[in-house]
Amino acid sequence: MILSLRKPLESAGLKKKEITVLEALIESGSPMLVSSLARATKLNRTTIYDIVRELSEKALVSRVEKDGVTRYQAIAVELLPSWIERQREELAESKRHIAEMIPQIKLLRTRGKSLPKVQFFEGEEGVTQAYDDVAENNKEKLLRGITGMDAVYENLDNKWVTAFLEKRTRLGIRCIDIVPETESGRRSKADDHKYIRTTKFLPAKYTFDGDISIYDNKVAVVSYARENPIAVIIEDEAISDMMKTLFDFIAEKAA
């Protein structure tokens, strides 16, 4: 039962330690002392107090006072689906509200500024956010890419890569990709028909652990370093135009 609860609770916004404590309470089926929770979860008492307070504020845990002793119990497991659904509705409403504010925020950020806008992303989650921008903010519906395919297959989650390619294709974004002619590069080219993509080859000796994506007025540079992946998005029309010109020249020479 608990294995099936963890994923939906995480998707509803609960932290891992919160889920651990909630699981212990659900499995117990009866109110528990903080000391008992600490033994069951292997968390210290101070942490337990903080977590049960947070879970109480989220209406997932309640206090039970008996004989001057405080115990804690989880809400009935039957109520969890409706609680998760409420969280998702609130998240959806927040997402809609933020989306409505984005044009105003962009206007405030760009007003009076002439320097290129630069965004930095760090870690696997940050890199995926950078790729989301490549797919979701591409008005030209064209992506020019220079990709180290060996690094992609070795360092990125292949399921995530496939999901990104499917997303880009679903959004109708055509891709011209320049890759080293390695086994990974040839494997990628074999799937061109599935992903509205044209792959061109560089000689295999020109391998690299990175990716350059050129789209609209932006250039995204990603490093697939295994221990600390990073991404940088430069938003500037002059820089983007320069990179597009260089890319088109390389693409003409590539096989």
Same domain, 129 and 49: no
> CA-to-CA distance for 171 and 136, rounded, in angstroms?
8
Within a domain: 177 = yes
Within a domain: 22 = yes
212 and 220 in contact (C-beta within 8 Å)?
yes
Average pLDDT over residues 202-229: 90
Within a domain: 9 = yes
212 and 203 in contact (C-beta within 8 Å)?
no
pLDDT at 5: 76
State the CATH number of the domain containing residue 219. 3.30.870.10
Closest by CA to 131, choosing from 51, 205, 232, is 232
Which tokens is 214 given?
């050129």
Averaged pLDDT score across all residues of the chain: 89
What is the chain's percent helix, strand, coil content, to nearest 5? 55, 20, 25
pLDDT tens profile 27-55 = 888 899 999 999 999 999 999 999 999 99
Same domain, 65 and 159: no
Band the pLDDT of 113: cuts 50, 70, 90. Answer: low
Q: Is the pLDDT at 84 greater than 90, yes or no?
A: no
Domain around 135: 116-253
Within a domain: 247 = yes
Same domain, 68 and 127: no
pLDDT at 1: 46
Q: Is the pLDDT at 202 greater than 50, yes or no?
A: yes
State the CATH number of the domain containing residue 24. 1.10.10.10
Same domain, 163 and 231: yes
